[in-house]
Amino acid sequence: MKTAIIIIADANANTDDSNGRAFNALTLALESKQKEDEVAVVFIGAGTRWPQALSKPTHPFHGLYNEVRDVIRGASCGCAAVFGATESVKACGIPELKDVAVPSTPGLASVRQFLAEGYHTLIF
């Protein structure tokens, strides 16, 4: 099975909803990885703020994040720019994705690419 997990929930919101979305997205990534599925995690929108939060050893999801680091495909470059996360994404070693040329942006991650490649694509 091929699964693309897109995280758009805002880490800065620090609500049960945004935390629950990120936690369940990372849990799905871990389960998919354990089942030897092809899995990719991408941060878009305000979700580009998650790598910085998850990289902190004190974050409750830090261990889970480390378990799925190898399946993180990247973060949307243009989204990171809009949401002030460019430097933190780079500092965390997360690749910047610029697959879609969008005017007035450095490029955005393509969600369509996953659909075209037959991935089950879920947005959290």
Q: By the 8 A CB rule, do 49 and 10 touch?
A: yes
Taking only the tens place, the pLDDT of each residue in 57-86 is: 999 999 999 999 999 999 999 999 999 999
In 3-state terms, what secondary structure has residue 93?
coil
CA distance 48 to 45: 6
Domains of the chain in start order, with CATH, are 2-123 (3.40.1260.10)
Q: How far apart are CA 64 and CA 50, in angstroms?
A: 13
Q: Single out the residue of 84, 59, 55 nearest to residue 68, CA to CA.
A: 55
Percentage with pLDDT > 70 across the chain? 100
Average confidence score pLDDT of the chain? 97
Say if residue 14's pLDDT is above 90: no
Asked whether residue 27 carries a pLDDT value surpassing 90, the answer given is: yes
Tokens of 55: 């990289």
